[in-house]
Structure 1
Amino acid sequence: MGEQRIDVTATTTAPAAAVYALLRDGASWPTWSPLGSFELESPGPEGGESLGAVRRFHTGRTTSRERIVELVPDRRFSYALLSGLAIKGYRADVDLTEGPDGTTIRWRSSFRAKVPGMGGAYRRSLAKFLQRCADGLAQHAAARLTP
């Protein structure tokens, strides 16, 4: 069972700080991503959605639980899947690079399939999902700048 990798990008006219704020706010995710609902299962040691917080997302019949594992203000938001999908060792890093015309969002993840031979199918499905997340985040961040 080999490691699977996904790397998707999107660009937005919004500054990195605005994009980062949306990533940190789990309640905003159902607005700009395919996710159905959000719940903060347990806050991080510093309160709220800080490092170590566990966030729960529900979509259809699937409930995923994710722990925030790295925060670099306005530059990186990282999380690890705790449960909900038939994969293991899932980690995603969302890196933000601000330029003169806005921000590039690079959403990378890696994982292993729990079921032998299913890694490619999970990778293709998750790549589409993550591209929708990145595109939705970019569009929503830009739209929030427009009065």
Structure 2
Amino acid sequence: MSSLAISASSHSSASAALVYEALLEAESWPAWSAYADVEWDVPAGVDRPARVGDVRTIRSRTGRGCFRERVVEMIPDQRFSYEQAAGLFTSHRGAVDLAPALRGGTNITWSATYRHTLPLLDVLRRRRLQMWVHDLASYANSIVSRNS
């Protein structure tokens, strides 16, 4: 097995703060991603923002996939990084980087590395990552449009 490093980019008319908020708001993920459910694993009754070390559980719409990701880095409005804590691809790490665009809005770059991969899955992973970053940008754009 070989390793794989990929990245995908998109642009949003939204501010970096709004894009970052969408990443952290688990309830919004079903609206813009291929996931049916994203839930932060915090003790019952605890109401606080996500922080480094927190784990979230992500379930696919098909019900075939259930993953747990641990937050490893948070730089508000700039970077959100995670690693697979449990699931099929425990060697997966990812990061979403946000940067101001010259003409306004935010440039979004989502990158991922897989320590072990099968070449047949590489094309699918590249397409899926491009889809996620595009869908995140589109979702943020829709919020801007609704609030205009």
Using the size of structure 2 for normalisation, the TM-score is 0.86
What's the offset of the Cα at 1:66? 0.4
What's the offset of the Cα at 1:121? 2.3
Structure 1: stretches of 5+ with no match in the other structure: none
**Aligned pair count?**
141
The one-character-per-residue Cα deviations of 1:111-147 (angstroms, maximum 9, x if unpaired) are: 122xxxx522232222222211111110010110113
- Aligned pair partner of 1:73 in 52, 76, 101: 76
Q: Give yes or no for contact 1:66–1:81 (8 Å, CA) kept in 2.
A: yes
> What letter is aligned with 1:38?
V
Using the size of structure 1 for normalisation, the TM-score is 0.87
What's the offset of the Cα at 1:2? 2.5
Partner of 2:142: 143
Structure 2: stretches of 5+ with no match in the other structure: none
Hey, which bits of structure 1, 4+ residues long, moved more than 3 A?
A: none
Partner of 2:92: 90
SS in 1 for 2:35: coil
The range that moved more, 68-77 or 27-36, is: 27-36
Partner of 1:3: 3
Q: What is the root-mean-square deviation of aligned Cα atoms in Å?
A: 1.9
Q: Spell out the pairing of 1:1-147 with structure 2 (5 A cutoff).
A: 1-42=1-42, 47-59=48-60, 60=62, 61-85=64-88, 87-99=89-101, 100-113=103-116, 118-147=117-146
What's the offset of the Cα at 1:47? 4.1
Q: Distance in 2 between matches of 1:125 and 1:132?
A: 10
> What letter is aligned with 1:138?
A
| Percent of aligned positions that are identical | 33
Q: Distance in 1 between matches of 2:113 and 2:56?
A: 19
